[in-house]
Amino acid sequence: MVELPETYVLVDQINRSVKGKRIVRAEAGHSPHTFAWYTGDPAMYHQKLAGKMITGAGILSGTVRLIVDDMSLLIGTPIRYHAQGERLPDKHQLLVEFEDSTAISCTVQMWGVMFCYRTGEEATGVPPGHIVHDSPPPLDDRFDYNYFLGLLAPVDRAKTSAKAFLATEQRIPGLGNGVLQDILWNVYIHPKRKMSSLSDDEVRRMFLAMKTVLADMVAGGGRDTERDLFGCWGGYRTVLSKNTIGKPCPRCGSAIKKEAYMGGSIYYCPQCQRS
């Protein structure tokens, strides 16, 4: 999965480097992967895309959306650009080659979607169990505090942790386990804290931190744990991530901890973020 900061970065890079290129070949499903999802028969992607032009990129449902004339490619997995003459990867779940001998490829790490459907037909084109949300991304002006409270309103606060609220049920598509760590650190909230224990002020500060931290991550070119379209690491230095386990918290000096929780890992400062 590609999370929101990297999605914003990829969209910008694609619009500057891939937009206007015409597809000569597309191949999906070259390397079988249990957790790679497509629309329809992957063998038909070439027929659907060949001869068509990338006319732009945007964000839909928290993922990169490529507009390919009358088709859309919704990609929720890392994307790499390959310059002319560069060796293409032997393993890939999606490869798109252009008439100028450049290409982009997708290689799924944990899981990823690579949906190809006629633009505007998301509801009928996407496989069952995969919902495409036409909702505003967090950095959109439409995603204001009232919208945030609307997401919280139906939640059982006594049973829902801060991590569960921010990063599950696709409430905020694209906001996942990776970026929520620094958001919660900024507001002194432990990922396991129940939403019912948060004051109104803490909820508001969580919203503001989400906006600020995501904007900082995008401005830095993505996080230092993830690569961009050209394979470069992001410039935003994560406070809480696999890169900082055991290192001192920049605020209080306590050692950053890692713990298993809800099928993944959480990172936190035991002093600043008390459960």
pLDDT digits (tens, 9 = 90+) for 59-90: 998 899 999 999 999 999 999 999 999 999 99
Residue after which a domain boundary falls, among 75, 94, 125: 125
Specify whether 118 is located in the same domain as 75: yes
Domain containing residue 233? 145-268
Q: Give me the pLDDT at residue 131, please.
A: 64
pLDDT tens profile 152-163: 999 999 999 999
pLDDT surpassing 90 at residue 120 = no
pLDDT surpassing 80 at residue 225 = yes
Q: Is residue 95 part of a domain?
A: yes
Beta bridge mates, 237: none
Specify whether 198 is located in the same domain as 152: yes
**Residue ranges with strand state E in the chain:** 23-28, 36-38, 54-60, 63-68, 71-75, 79-82, 94-98, 103-106, 112-118, 257-261, 264-268
Specify whether 167 is located in the same domain as 264: yes
The DSSP output letter for 42 is G
Q: Is residue 245 part of a domain?
A: yes
Specify whether 218 is located in the same domain as 190: yes
CATH number, domain with residue 220: 1.10.8.50
Specify whether 81 is located in the same domain as 183: no
Specify whether 108 is located in the same domain as 194: no
CATH number, domain with residue 26: 3.20.190.10
For Cα atoms 121, 140, 59, give the angle at the middle one, nearest 5 degrees. Answer: 35
Specify whether 121 is located in the same domain as 172: no
pLDDT range class, residue 123, cuts 50, 70, 90: low
Q: Give me the pLDDT at residue 13, please.
A: 98
Q: What is the pTM of this model?
A: 0.93
Tokens of 141: 């002006």
pLDDT tens profile 49-59: 999 999 999 99
Pairing of strands 63-68, 36-38: unpaired
pLDDT tens profile 162-209: 999 999 888 998 999 999 999 999 999 999 999 999 999 999 999 999
Q: Is residue 29 part of a domain?
A: yes
Q: What is the number of domains present in the chain?
A: 2
Q: Is residue 137 part of a domain?
A: no
Specify whether 238 is located in the same domain as 159: yes
Q: Is residue 133 part of a domain?
A: no
Specify whether 86 is located in the same domain as 184: no
User: Averaged over 238-242, what is the pLDDT?
Assistant: 96
Q: Is residue 130 part of a domain?
A: no
Specify whether 164 is located in the same domain as 92: no
Q: Give me the pLDDT at residue 186, please.
A: 97
Report how far residue 275's alpha carbon sits from residue 261's, in angstroms, rounded to the nearest whole number.
13
Residue after which a domain boundary falls, among 125, 156, 183: 125
Specify whether 118 is located in the same domain as 192: no
pLDDT range class, residue 125, cuts 50, 70, 90: low
Q: Is residue 28 part of a domain?
A: yes
Q: Is residue 222 part of a domain?
A: yes
Specify whether 119 is located in the same domain as 149: no
pLDDT surpassing 90 at residue 19 = yes
